[in-house]
Amino acid sequence: MSDLQIGLIALGVLLILLVLGFNWWQDRRVRRKMQTHFPASEQDPLLGAGLGAGAGAPAPSRREPGMGGESAAHLPAEPAAAPGSDADDAEEPDPATEVVIEVHFSEPARGADLLPYMQSLRHVGRKPMRVFATTDQGRHRARLHAAESYGAMQLAVLLANRSGPLTAIEWSQAWARAQDLAERFDATIEGPDQQAVLEQAARLDDTCAALDTQVGLTLLLHQAQPAAEVLNIARDAGFAAEGNRLLWPAEDGAIRFTLSRADGAAFDAGMGGIERLYLLLDVPCAPADPRAFGRMVDVGRDLAARLRADLVDDQGKPLADGAEKVIDERLQVLFGQLEQAGLPAGSARAQRVFA
């Protein structure tokens, strides 16, 4: 090998090391900037290196809802400050489950001009986005008001949900929307490196997949009954309607479990009869309860008596005596694991990622 070849090889190695060093420095600089906006909390397991109980372990395949589709997040509304108020809104981006793109306007932008653009900032692919803003007076807003002007905005993109982790395409779409916003309103944008985002999304998805559990029961009606009659009986039993399903609410309004038709249709859709109903306990999205499953069994048995139906498990077998107690004991372990992972059952954070 000639001296020229050796020299070229050495030069190539040096250039590669310089590129790797520059990328490391750039990633470190961006992370430091983001941490100034969202300092890590020592009390939040999801913000730690291990990402909760599921980190480092082999990730099982994500278990999708077994009884009628994904459950929608039922998030309580945070109180919002009135337009022009000196108070800050309480709701903020969640750095443990969302990645934030910062938008800084060269001149304050009017809320009335920004609001028509908000429709395009609700989703990227199958991941929801939340929009936050800082007024020209330095007040934090969880929603924009036409009468205010804003010096900056934050676009918070969910890192993972039941559709899987945030993908490179979804992140690129979010970045493209931020760039479009910046071009329209003369702004600059800042955000973390794509690879760091995708790695964080994958870790969160692994954690959620390890904890995602749903428990179902089936009501087999002895004969088909009109949907309107079934709906009235369910309402009399204590269910409340929401979209195509019925909800069993807790005292604070949170959803304990749901009731849906086997065909997924709304209870007031069509004239055909109903022969099968599904009860579903979405464990991460329901409030922690020592009798989470037992409570659903009690309601299911009452509903079965009202509808002249048989209550069976998701394998089509009658419930064994004491089965609810055994399952509730297992669910208490899962509730504890969710808490340790920084995803308390029924919390707004859990409902975002388990949707």
If you search the block for the tokens 């934090």, which residue do you land on?
140
pLDDT score, position 173: 97
Q: Are 135 and 127 in contact (CB under 8 A)?
A: no
Q: What is the CATH number of the domain that holds 107?
A: 3.30.1400
Structure tokens at 164: 């899987």
Domain boundary (207, 239, 266) is at 207
Neighbours of 22 (CB within 10 A): 10
- Which has the higher per-residue pLDDT, 191 or 267? 191
**Do 234 and 114 lie in a common domain?**
no
Look at the chain and report how many structural domains it folds into. 2
Residues 217 and 348 in one domain: yes
The reply to whether 182 and 230 lie within a common domain is: no
CA distance linking residue 187 with residue 179, whole number of Å: 9
Higher pLDDT, 18 or 259: 259
Q: Is residue 11 part of a domain?
A: no
Higher pLDDT, 22 or 127: 127
Residues 240 and 180 in one domain: no
Which of the listed residues 184, 207, 230 is the one where a domain comes to its end? 207
Question: Is there a single domain that holds both residue 190 and residue 240?
Answer: no
225 part of a folded domain: yes
Give pLDDT, residue 45: 74
pLDDT of residue 17: 67
Q: Residue 78 corresponds to which tokens in the numbers above?
A: 């945070």
Confirm whether 118 is domain-assigned.
Answer: yes
In a domain, 59, yes or no: no
User: Is residue 22 in some structural domain?
Assistant: no
CATH number at residue 253: 3.30.1400.10
Give the Cα separation of 181 and 195 in Å (integer).
23
Tokens linked to 292? 């989470």
Condensed to tens digits (0 to 9), the pLDDT of residues 19-53 reads: 566 555 555 544 444 343 334 444 567 776 433 33
Residue pair 174/124 in contact by the 8 Å Cβ criterion: yes
Tell me the percentage of the chain whose pLDDT exceeds 70. Answer: 78
Q: Are residues 271 and 304 in the same domain?
A: yes
Q: Do the domain assignments include residue 21?
A: no
Q: Are residues 218 and 343 in the same domain?
A: yes
Query: Can you give the pLDDT at residue 38?
Result: 37
Q: How confident is the model at residue 314 (pLDDT cuts 50, 70, 90)?
A: confident
Domain that holds residue 196: 75-207
Q: Locate tokens 């009860």: which residue?
A: 279
244 and 151 within one domain: no
Asked if residue 27 belongs to a domain, the reply is: no
Domain boundary among 181, 207, 233: 207
Q: Is there a single domain that holds both residue 203 and residue 225? A: no
Shared-domain flag, residues 123 and 237: no
Of the listed ranges 65-74, 270-279, 332-341, the least confidently predicted one is 65-74
Q: What pLDDT, in 10s, does the model give residues 75-120?
A: 445 566 767 677 899 999 999 999 999 999 999 999 999 999 999 9
- Which pLDDT band, with edges at 50, 70 and 90, does 69 fall under? very low
pTM: 0.76
User: Please, which residues have CB within 8 angstroms of residue 80's CB and are 6 or more apart in sequence?
Assistant: 89, 91, 141, 142, 143
Q: Do 158 and 231 reside in the same domain of the chain?
A: no
122, 139: one domain: yes
232 Cβ neighbours under 8 A, 6+ residues apart: none
Is residue 17 a part of any domain in this protein?
A: no
